[in-house]
Amino acid sequence: MIPVSKPYLPCFKKYARMLEDSFDRGVITNNGPYLRELEQRLADFLGVPNVICVTNGTVAIQLAIRSLGIKERVLTTPFSFIASSSALVYEGLTPKFVDICAKSFNLNPHLLEVNDYETVSAILPVHVYGNPCDVYAIDEFKSRHGLKVIYDASHAFDVKLNGTSILNWGDVSTLSFHATKAFHTIEGGAIVTCNSELADLLRGLRNFGINDDAEIKGLGINAKLSEFNAAMGLCILDDWDAIRHSRKQIWEMYTKELGEVFQAPVWSSEATRNYSYMPFLFNSVDELVRVKNKLEENNIFPRRYFYPSLNEIPYLSSFDFSQSCAVSTDIASRVMCFPIYPSLNIADVKKIITLTKASLKR
């Protein structure tokens, strides 16, 4: 069976030795040595000043919202995994969808203009598939209207824009380290910010509002990442170059064979890629369903990431009071992600390509 994604697993013996060290130390959570090492190594590797690891990528968004004191309405993209919008609703906020750009599949900054800013306090764009948003236009807009910006960078681990980390844009960026993501800690996530005061606040928020001197400074929650999760992250970080390389080879094979057949998002020419997703845009829903059925008959399971467009989810559609999301609704209905993960062998990729091409012919 070939799923759309399979968790990368490092050398078991190496991971087990690290767990053994945790047992010997008797330290398994609460800001332990692996957690501190992971945060430092991620900051150095990614080229960002502050990394605050938390239990998952959804909580990362929730804590980012709390730390910035965001209220009322938040402009966001309807083309994303449910968590970017559900985190807003969970924090008592109102998502207001802004349609996407038909080329990048990311929030279209030119459509930000038509909003009434009375009750809007922030923008939450998503770097979908690791393809950077138009951060220059969003940043200009942020300054003009005094808004906060949280980038959901769950797909954008190790993506650089013009030589520097994409995570340095906005007030805060959030990452997901879920097992299906390119870099993971089994479950986990992180918040990245250039603002050191905000970083201290976030470290408190993830630990019941308690600071380094054991004083309770305010409201907080428990979002601490355990030592076992951090150890997994350290093992995977050691292997990251090889992981990215395997993904790249698969990505290039698909692109060579199917790049002419289907459209795909236009990847930013100013950014590096992490090859975490392999999306193709079909000419019609009918064509997509035909290919999907054919692959499933052969035990291959591509996924309709992201379908439906979030403005069509019942509990979210009630919030979407004015703006059309026609581009997102259309693209969400015709896009599908093909299997891509380091242990997927090239022979299987070739088989997927052959089956796909065959099912296009009537």
Ligand X SMILES: *Cc1c(COP(=O)(O)O)cnc(C)c1O
Residues that bind ligand X (CB under 6 A): 56-58, 80-81, 83-84, 126, 152, 154-155, 176, 178, 189
Query: Helix, strand or coil for residue 362?
Result: coil
Angle made by CA atoms 181, 186, 188, in degrees to the nearest 5: 80
Tokens 């767990």 belong to residue: 19
Strand extents, DSSP E, the chain: 50-54, 73-76, 94-97, 120-124, 148-152, 160-161, 164-165, 172-176, 189-193, 279-281, 335-337
Q: Give the helix, strand, coil percentages of the chain, each rounded to 5.
A: 45, 15, 40
Closest CB to ligand X: residue number: 57
Q: How far apart are CA 73 and CA 362, in angstroms?
A: 48
Query: Based on CB atoms, which residue is closest to ligand X, 154 or 311?
Result: 154
Query: Based on CB atoms, which residue is closest to ligand X, 126 or 147?
Result: 126
- Shortest distance, position 313 Cβ to ligand X, whole Å: 14
- Shortest distance, position 83 Cβ to ligand X, whole Å: 3
Query: Helix, strand or coil for residue 67?
Result: helix
Query: What are phi and psi for residue 160, nearest 5 degrees?
Result: -115, 140
- Shortest distance, position 80 Cβ to ligand X, whole Å: 5
- Shortest distance, position 16 Cβ to ligand X, whole Å: 24
- Shortest distance, position 146 Cβ to ligand X, whole Å: 26
The answer to whether 131 and 157 are in contact (CB under 8 A) is no
Query: Based on CB atoms, which residue is closest to ligand X, 57 or 302?
Result: 57
- Shortest distance, position 47 Cβ to ligand X, whole Å: 22
Query: Based on CB atoms, which residue is closest to ligand X, 81 or 338?
Result: 81
Which residues, in sequence order, are CB contacts of 68 under 8 Å at separation 6+? Answer: 122, 148, 150, 171, 172, 198
Where helices occur in 96-219 by DSSP H, the ranges are 135-145, 196-205
- Shortest distance, position 152 Cβ to ligand X, whole Å: 5
Query: Based on CB atoms, which residue is closest to ligand X, 56 or 165?
Result: 56
Amino acid at 291: V
Q: How far apart are CA 29 and CA 32, in angstroms?
A: 6
Query: Based on CB atoms, which residue is closest to ligand X, 128 or 356?
Result: 128
In the numeric block, which tokens belong to residue 26? Answer: 């008797």
Query: Based on CB atoms, which residue is closest to ligand X, 83 or 352?
Result: 83
- Shortest distance, position 226 Cβ to ligand X, whole Å: 15
Query: Based on CB atoms, which residue is closest to ligand X, 152 or 227?
Result: 152
